[in-house]
Structure 1
Amino acid sequence: MKKSLLICCALLTFSTGCETAQQVLNNLPASTTGGVNTTQIAAGLKEALTIGTQNSANRLSAVNGFFANAALKILMPPQAQKVESTLRNVGLGSVVDKAILSMNRGAEEAAKSATPIFVNAIKQMSITDAIGILRGGDFAATNYFKEKTTAALTSAFQPVITSSLKKVDATKYWGDVFTVYNRFSKEPVNTDLSAYVTQRAIDGIFHEVSLEEQKIRKDPAARVTDLLKTVFGSPLAQKN
């Protein structure tokens, strides 16, 4: 019975044409649904995902959103650390620092374009997507966004990041140094700095989205509107 209720809820959440499921849920007693109607259920789940992705993008697009976040700060890749140390030892530390700052500033600027991409993915959720998210575990929504938005985020992020890196000649510097380095290394470094930073920026966005998803699912204090409190505090929302 619990599983049937959950499937019906998912069908209703992102579809207006599922008359059979609509009739089943409408006929359930108020004690089963917690008094929450189908319109509230649909709106509440969509609102939760929208708020979560907006919060993530807003944090990371602020100045120092990446640069001052120890978990997300974009640094030289591990295989390039020997080269970085060498450059610092010969007095080129300021050049490396400028490149690192530029990488993070580019990621912060690019993050501003994330929200509309996530919102569009929410609008396009199918019935199957909704069922998967509701039944798929703690990170089901994050995994959905990874599948549906990575290509669009890459297209939106990379030009912004490339522009930021060019301001301090970071792209040229990276390419020149690591093209030579790769001739002698068994662990070659990707000479496409823009691609590297873009991937790190996208990883950072999804990391923040996953944190927001956990808050909405598990922390009542994160349900910042009356609608979220009503829907996610109902007995129906607690059934797994």
Structure 2
Amino acid sequence: MKKALVSLLMIAACINYSKAQGVSGLLNKIKSGSGNGISTTQSNGSTKQPVSSNLLGNDEVVRGLREALQLGAQTATKNLSATNGFFGNALIKILMPPEVRTIESKMRQFGFGKLMDNLVLSMNRAAEDASGKALPILASTISSFTIYDGIEILKGSDDAATQLLKTRTTPQLTAAFRPIISSSMSKYNVEQLWSQVFTSYNSLPIIKNKVNTDLTGYITERALSGLFVTIAQQEKTIRKDPVGTGSDLITRVFGSVMK
């Protein structure tokens, strides 16, 4: 009995020692940045904390995420900048501003339906024009994503990359979109149509409150919303079926998350 007890104690000691060595070795790899895993450290004041560890290398993860986002951004901007990219998509089609929807209904009742239809079409055409200019800004931001961004994206929701991209590009895109939309509005006579609609509306004897709205700002906001909705759809598709992209790198990066 004593010999059996001693043997069990010795085995337990050996197992505990091996586990301790294994944990110690893993921590050392993470701290030192060695091995093939995501083993980088993130600065936090005067100390550095381990971020994550995985089977993929840091560079591979970042390159895979950038490639996936570039693909999503390219597809989204190409689709949106095509004729009917906005107008033919019920999910993102730009309608009249909410504050004038009642007015639109009244205008149609008074026989201005064709004029209203032309105005809505022109607003969507302006958004389609502007969408073609978004890719360089999106691409520049995507190229700056780091391993920390990569880990956040991989651990995040189905649209985590899109939300991060939206946060970092909205001011630039807004500044870029406004003049393009303003120019497109002139090209498609949006401002002229808007003036026609509400000159006619304001001339109606029953109207007391005149309409004054920032149409350029409204179209810009709706165009950006449609852009990011479309990019989010592309991101979800890639996450669901990375093999479908035809990229081995994207498949390895996003495939590793599903394991």
**Do these two structures clear the TM 0.5 threshold for a shared fold by scoring above it?**
yes
* Partner-residue secondary structure (3-state), 1:73: coil
State the 1:38 CA deviation.
4.6
Which residue in 2 is equivalent to 1:97?
117
* Partner-residue secondary structure (3-state), 1:65: coil
- Check conservation: 2:126, 2:185, Cα contact below 8 A: yes
- Check conservation: 1:63, 1:108, Cα contact below 8 A: yes
Map 1:142-221 → 2, pairs under 5 A: 142-174=162-194, 177=198, 184=208, 191-221=213-243
Kindly indicate whether structure 1 or structure 2 has the higher relative contact order, using CA contacts under 8 Å at least 6 residues apart. Answer: 1
User: 2-side partners of 1:137 and 1:99: how far apart?
Assistant: 37
Under a length normalisation based on structure 1, what TM-score does the superposition of the two structures give?
A: 0.76
* Residue number among 100, 103, 126 corresponding to 1:106 in the alignment: 126
Aligned length: 211
Question: In the alignment, residue 239 of structure 2 is paired with which amino acid?
Answer: R
* Residue number among 63, 69, 74 corresponding to 1:54 in the alignment: 74
Q: More deviation in 103-112 or 163-172? A: 163-172
State the 1:145 CA deviation.
1.1
State the 1:128 CA deviation.
3.8
* Partner-residue secondary structure (3-state), 1:71: coil
Residue by residue over 1:136-155, the C-alpha shift from the partner in whole angstroms, topping out at 9 and shown as x without a partner, is 32221111111101011111
- Check conservation: 1:79, 1:189, Cα contact below 8 A: no
Q: Which has the larger radius of gyration?
A: 2
Cα-Cα RMSD: 2.9
User: 1-side partners of 2:124 and 2:143: how far apart?
Assistant: 30
Under a length normalisation based on structure 2, what TM-score does the superposition of the two structures give?
A: 0.71
Residue by residue over 1:9-43, the C-alpha shift from the partner in whole angstroms, topping out at 9 and shown as x without a partner, is xxxxxxxxxx9564143599xxx72xx55543332
Change over 3 Å in CA distance of 1:26–1:128 after alignment to 2: closer
- Check conservation: 1:52, 1:212, Cα contact below 8 A: yes
User: 2-side partners of 1:27 and 1:137: how far apart?
Assistant: 20
> Unaligned regions of 5+ residues in structure 2, if any?
1-29, 40-53
Change over 3 Å in CA distance of 1:189–1:154 after alignment to 2: farther
> Unaligned regions of 5+ residues in structure 1, if any?
1-18
Residue by residue over 1:172-210, the C-alpha shift from the partner in whole angstroms, topping out at 9 and shown as x without a partner, is 5536728959x955xx96611111011000000010111
User: 1-side partners of 2:181 and 2:32: how far apart?
Assistant: 46
- Check conservation: 1:99, 1:168, Cα contact below 8 A: no
Which residue in 1 is equivalent to 2:5?
none
Runs of 4+ aligned residues of structure 1 deviating over 6 Å after TM superposition are none
User: 2-side partners of 1:194 and 1:55: how far apart?
Assistant: 25
